[in-house]
Every structure is written in C-alpha cells, then in structure tokens.
A and B are shown apart, each in its own frame.
Chain A
Amino acid sequence: MKFDVRIGTLTRQIEIQRSGPNQFAVVSDDRTHLDTKIDDTKIDAVEVAPNTYSILVNGRAFEAIVVPAAEGVLVRCAGREFHAIVSDPRAWRGGRGPLFGAEGKQKVTAPMPGKVVRVLVSAGDTVEANQGLVVVEAMKMQNEIRAPKAGTIERIFISEGQAVAAGDALVTIN
C-alpha cells in the first residue's frame, strides 16, 4: 500500500508491504536523494505495541511512537517530534482541507474535556487575536482558551458550569 507522507517541506511516497502478522517491509521513493545511502530493501518495521514501531534501517535501530494530532500525526523518534501529514489514495479522510482558515468564520473548540468555569466574552463583542474567550477547568487547572484571530464573537455555544467534551464548539468568531 502506498502513502504520500509530508513532514515540513519534504514529501515522500512510502510503500508498505506486509511481511508478517505485525511485520512490514518498506519501500520508498527516493529519487529526490533524501537519503541516498539507504538501501530500501533492508527496512524492516514491526508494531511492537499499539502505536509503537520498531524500525530497523540497515541495522540501525529506531523506535517511533505515533500520536494522532488535530491535523495529521505526531511521531516521536530519536528524542524529537515530527509532525507528519499522510495522504492515502483510499483514505476516508483524504483531501479534506481545513474548513475555516484564518480568514472568515472560525470555530473555537474545547481542546480537552472539562467544565466551563467562565465565559469572558458575549455575542457581538470585538476581540483581539489571543484574547481570552472561555476558561475551561480540567484536571484541577483553569485553562484559558484564546481567540485564534481578531474578529467579532458571532455565537456562544456554551454557558458557565457546563461540561464540554474535547472538540465541542465553544464560540465562533467572524
């Protein structure tokens, strides 16, 4: 199966073939000389635990952990973190772009489950970018959710004391 994977400015096609129950052989398209010294026929990858991969490249051993992010995934490997966007020709999610950009209407959502302890704005208010909008308490900490852009508060979906789940809409800014 083939995937286009993008990390920052680099995009590569990675082809994966199953070679065992949790084991895979990896082929990638390296015409762009990302890593000319790598012999692609000798990459062996095994899922050793959920979302955890042991990857051997010509004997060099790596462990990589993958965590889903708002867009794409975060890969932790060799003491660093990489933000990767994967598109797969057959993906259920393929091709979906951001619904709202920095221009136009933007929905602000709860980044984690918690309880709304304060709503700092009202519908119709003008807000600056980075201004506090809503305070959500989770794990005993009060977390201020800030405006991603300047604009006018169009709608408020929540009220003080209300429980919210991760991803619930808090307000829209236009």
Chain B
Amino acid sequence: MFKKLLIANRGEIAVRILRACRDLGVAGVALYSEVDRTALHVRMADEAYAIGPAPSRESYLRIDKLMEVARRSGCDALHPGYGFLAENPELPRACANAGITFVGPPAGAMERLGAKTAARELAFRAGVPMVPGVREPIPQLEAARRIADEIGYPVLLKAVAGGGGKGMRVVSGAHELASAWRDAASEALNAFGDERVYIEKYLDRPRHIEMQIFADAHGNVVYLGERECSVQRRHQKVIEEAPSPFMTPELRRAMGEAAVRLAREAGYTNAGTAEFLVDANRNFYFLEVNTRLQVEHPVTEAVTGLDLVELQLRVAAGEQRPIKQQDVTLHGHAMECRIYAEDPENHFFPSPGKIISWRPPHGPGIRLDEGVYSGWTVPGDYDPLLAKLIASGGSRVEVIARLQRALSEFQITGIRTNTLLFEKILADPDFQKGAIHTRWLDERLASLLPARVSHADSPSEALEIKVAMIAAALWHLGQSKSANEQPAPSGSRWRDDGRHEQISRTPDR
C-alpha cells in the first residue's frame, strides 16, 4: 500500500478520499486554492498546500502545481477524485513521468474511453449497442447543421470532454442550433478546457442506468451492479439509486457483460462506469464511459458492502483480483440525494455564502458525505455540491422512508439548498412506483416545486401557519435587536442587500 496520497481535488470527494486514507493508514495530502484555506478537506488532511488563486484554471487544474506539491511532500500516489483533472490523460502522464502512481486508468485507456467520440468508436468495435450519432467531434457549426439534419431533430450536443451535464444542450429544431452550439462549447471550455462538441440523437424518455466496473492491472474485470440515475434536472443527476427498480437479472447480466467488454477492449484498469440509456422495452444503448470514481459511488458501496475508494487504492497498488465476480452480491437498496447550494424556487440560481448553521441527519441507514461545515463560507467559484445524503435499507420503500426522515432532520441555514425539493420528489407517487425517466423531473418540476402557503385549508395547516408566523417574528426580533446593538456591520445578507440596493439605486432616480 502507498505511504502518502496526494488528493488532487476539493470538497466532499476530497473528504471522502481522506476518510479512505485514514482507514488504510495512508497519509493524505490536500491542496487548496486561496478561497479554500479553511475548507473541510484542508482541516482534515495530514498535510495541505496552497496552489494558487480561486479560479480552478489557476489552481486545481494546474498539473504543474500538483506535481510540484507531490514532489515536495513526497507523495507516492495521486487520487484525482471526479471533475477537475480526473479525466484528463495529461494527469496520469505527468504522474508516470514523476514516478507517482495514478489512482485510475492509464492515459491510453482514458483516451480510448474518456473522449466520448473515441468511446463510441470503441463500443462500435466491442459490439455494444449505441444511440445513433457521430463518432467524432464536429469541427464547425455548418457541419453540425448538416449532421443534425441527417440524424433528425431533436438532437443532443455534448462536450467531447464532458460530464455532469456541462457542455450539453438539447436542440429541438434547426433554429436553436447556433445558440446551443455557442453555449455548449463555451461551457465545455470553461469546465474542461476543451470546447469540442459532438452530436447524438436525443431519445424520448429513456432511463439512465449505469454499470460500475472494476479492473485490476492483471486483466481481471468485474461489474458491481447498476445504478439508476434517471432523476435529472437538465442532464444533471439529482437522485441515484441501486439497484434500479426497472432491472431484471437478465438485463443486469447483459449490461454488465457489455461494460466488461468495453473495459477489456480499452485496456482499462481501476474503477470506471459505463453509462447506458434504457428504453421502455429494456433495450440498452451505450452512452459513455466515465473513467473515474462517480459522485454516486456510495449507493453501490451500500448494496455491495465494498469500499470503492479502498478498492481503487488496492488495485492501483498492484493488488491482484481484490474482488471476484462470483463474490459480488447485491443486498437491499440504497439511494442518494445530492445536496446543492442552490435555490430551486428562484430558477435554481446558485447560493454560495456563509453556512450559519448545519445540523446533519443521523440514525439507522443514513450516511452523509459532506464537504462543508457550520460557519464556513461556500465559495462561488466551484460546483455547488455541498454533501451527498445516502440512505440504505432492506427495500426501496424503507430507503425512501429513511431519506424522508433524514431530509426532515437536515437543517441548513444561511444559504439556500434543495432539501425541500427532495422531500417533494420522494413523496411523488410516480417516483415511489419507480416510473421515472431522464426528463421526468424537468417535466414534473413545476408541480413539484414546493408551493408557498398563502391560506389555511385545514386546522393543522392553521397551526403550522401560526408557528411560521411566530418564527418570522422571532427572527425579526433578533434582527432588530442586533441592529440596535451593533449598527455598522451585520451578519444579515438581507439587510446588507437591502442597503446595497438603496445605495446602488441612487444614481438613476
């Protein structure tokens, strides 16, 4: 096993990897940008080093700085997490040059699978079914127009380097193509440093089901079952679960074996995920391979009983066959909610800022993978993921009940989050039946967004309104009290914003 691991990431995933380090007795080295000095991953690390200003292109995306920290601190391995440089083949190359083990696939396999167009080429050779579309990046808008006309609208523009719904746009007709092209390319350039985009046919109401694979360096490849991630908002996963409520043992085996074929064809090692779309007739279509640990890996951990980060480290350290296919058995059910700093009621605008209080849920079947703490200021420079709330249990029904209980306990003040939206989704009859598809949430959103109460329909509602009024009055009392006692600086964004508005409004009156 390694002695010291450089964690080339931040937030909840850096914390998750640090926890695996602790379990294995490996020292964990953190990195931080100027705005992350007090981030949780820095507080928890054995060592931590500054790598530059807030913008990720000047800090977390700088391979040269990562390598310098690795050398200076004497790391023998590097874990990229997800996002940032996790799927950039230059990182494993730089690690190899520096004599550091990269916890992930070799650069070659990453190129063969990571670039989405190359993966489609490879899937074609491995005989894995695919969504109609192109197998190479599209050079300019004119070519995109021609291809989109050939495939037929609606089409999907996707970043070659993409992930997490970034650099992705649905185009319903030719008139939308130019602006969608511009947005997808610029978002892709910002997120991945690569503006190349390609086109796929947009399937109607498919389910998103992905297969977790693991390959050691000795040619052994296994699949660890599926995750269903059909609840998405604009292609960004919102809820993930394992197993899929739509799965059959036959389909699982067929998809698992297809994923294993892809991994073998690519010479893949370590953890990876083959993503598929599945239609109502249980036909599956290869989408892409994520050549890294997924955000939603905890649901697989819950149903397999495995620690995927530990497995990643053991495979990277050269251990042979840490797990055999016949040993992989799935028990019970698990589900994850991604807790974001965003305001579902106001166009899902991001909500960075200071977390005034943070009371996490606990109890049977609950796991929280968090990257923040009470009193910390969430910077506006990175992804809004604050934490992942995972529930596990014997059945899907039990898991939903546990998640609902946990969400009702989860209290976050200071910033806006999407916890209330999760309560609405989990209570939805279609969701509870598992009748979901990748556009389900986008279509349902308007009716799911919690309606603000304006009048009492029942005595119990009258009581709740009364309690809400009391709370509002108590808050106001606290505000006016602190305003009287310390009039100058205040902790209230509301009041600051109010003042700010007053000032900035003056010129045009």
A interface residues with partner B (beta carbon < 8 Å): 1, 3, 5, 7-10, 12, 14, 16, 24, 26, 28, 34-35, 37-38, 43, 45, 47, 49-53, 55, 57, 60, 62-70, 72-84, 86, 88, 90-93, 99, 105, 107, 109, 111-114, 117, 137-143, 155, 165-169, 172
Given the complex of chains A and B, what is the CA–CA distance between A76 and B410 in angstroms?
11
Contact check, B413 vs A139: say whether CB atoms are below 8 A apart: no
Report Cα–Cα, A66/B498, bound state, in Å.
17
Residues in chain B near residue A72, CB distance under 8 A: 472
A76 touches B467 (CB 8 A): no
Q: How far apart are the CA atoms of A122 and B352 in the complex, in Å?
A: 29
- Rounded to whole Å, the gap between the CB of A140 and the closest CB of chain B is 5
B residues neighboring A (CB under 8 Å): 166, 183, 186-187, 190-191, 341-343, 345-347, 349-352, 356-357, 359, 380-384, 408, 411-414, 416, 420, 423, 450, 452-456, 459, 462-478, 480, 483, 492-495, 497-498, 500-501, 504-505, 508
Among B190, B453, B471, B493, contact of A53 (Cβ-Cβ < 8 Å): B471
Inter-subunit contact A138/B453 (CB<8 Å): no
Residues of A within 8 A of B475 (CB): 51, 53, 66, 73, 86
| Whole-angstrom CA separation of A75 from B466 in the bound complex | 11
| 11 residue pairs A–B, Cβ–Cβ below 8 Å | A14-B469, A55-B471, A57-B467, A63-B411, A65-B413, A66-B472, A66-B474, A99-B505, A112-B349, A112-B380, A139-B382
The residue from A34, A65, A84, A138 contacting B462, defined by CB atoms under 8 A apart: A34
> Is the pair A50, B356 in contact by a Cβ cutoff of 8 Å?
yes
Report the separation of the CA atoms of residues A73 and B142 in the bound assembly, to the nearest whole angstrom.
Answer: 50
Q: Which 9 A/B pairs are nearest by Cβ-Cβ distance?
A: A8-B454, A68-B494, A64-B471, A84-B472, A82-B468, A139-B350, A66-B475, A75-B468, A5-B469
> Which among B341, B350, B456, B494 has the highest number of chain A CB atoms within 10 Å?
B350
Would A9 and B455 count as touching, CB distance under 8 A? yes
Q: Is there contact, CB below 8 Å, between A50 and B350?
A: no
Given contacts A138-B350, A169-B504, contact A51 B380 (CB under 8 A): no
- Pick from B352, B456, B459, B501: contact of A138, CB under 8 Å: B352
Report the Cα distance A104→B480, complex, angstroms: 32
User: Which residues of B are found within 8 Å of A74, using beta-carbon distances?
Assistant: 452
B456 close to A141 (CB less than 8 A): no
Given contacts A35-B463, A168-B504, 11 further A-B contacts (CB under 8 A): A8-B454, A16-B477, A51-B475, A60-B463, A66-B472, A69-B494, A75-B472, A79-B423, A81-B420, A112-B350, A142-B186
Q: Is the CB of B352 within 8 A of A68?
A: no
Query: In whole angstroms, what is the CA distance A3 to B186 when docked?
Result: 50
- For B166, the closest partner residue in chain A by CB is A140
Q: A51-B356, A57-B466, A66-B472 are in contact. Are A139 and B497 (CB under 8 A)?
A: no
Known: A45-B470, A112-B352. A3 touches B493 (CB 8 A): no
B472–A35 contact, CB under 8 A?
no
Partner of B464, one of A26, A78, A165: A78
Cβ–Cβ contact A65 & B411, under 8 A? yes
Give chain A residues whose Cβ lies under 8 Å from the Cβ of B359.
49, 52
Q: Is the beta-carbon distance between B470 and A43 smaller than 8 angstroms?
A: yes
Given A28-B469, A51-B413, A139 and B384 contact (CB-CB distance below 8 Å): yes
CB atoms of B166 and A81 under 8 A apart: no
Residue of A nearest to B413 (CB): A51
Question: When chains A and B are docked, how far (Å) is the Cα of A10 from the Cα of B464?
Answer: 13
The answer to whether B463 touches A138, judged by C-beta atoms less than 8 angstroms apart, is no
Give the residue name and chain of the B residue nearest to A30 (CB). Answer: B466
A35 with B459: CB separation less than 8 A: yes
Which of chain B's residues have a CB closer than 8 A to the CB of A60? 463
**Contact among B190, B346, B380, B454 for A9, CB-based, below 8 A:** B454
A16 to B350, CA, bound (A): 35
- Tell me whether A141 and B384 are in contact in the complex, defined as CB-CB below 8 angstroms, given that A78-B464, A84-B472 are known contacts: yes
Q: List residues of chain B with CB within 8 A of the CB of A12.
A: 466, 469
A167 and B501 in contact, given A73-B472, A77-B467 (Cβ under 8 angstroms): yes
Contact B413 A92 (CB under 8 A): no
Decide yes or no: A55 and B473 within 8 Å by CB, A117-B186, A139-B384 being known contacts: no
Q: Are A8 and B453 in contact (CB under 8 A)?
A: yes
Residues in B neighbouring A35, C-beta threshold 8 A: 459, 462-463, 466
**Residues of chain B contacted by A78 (CB below 8 angstroms):** 464, 467
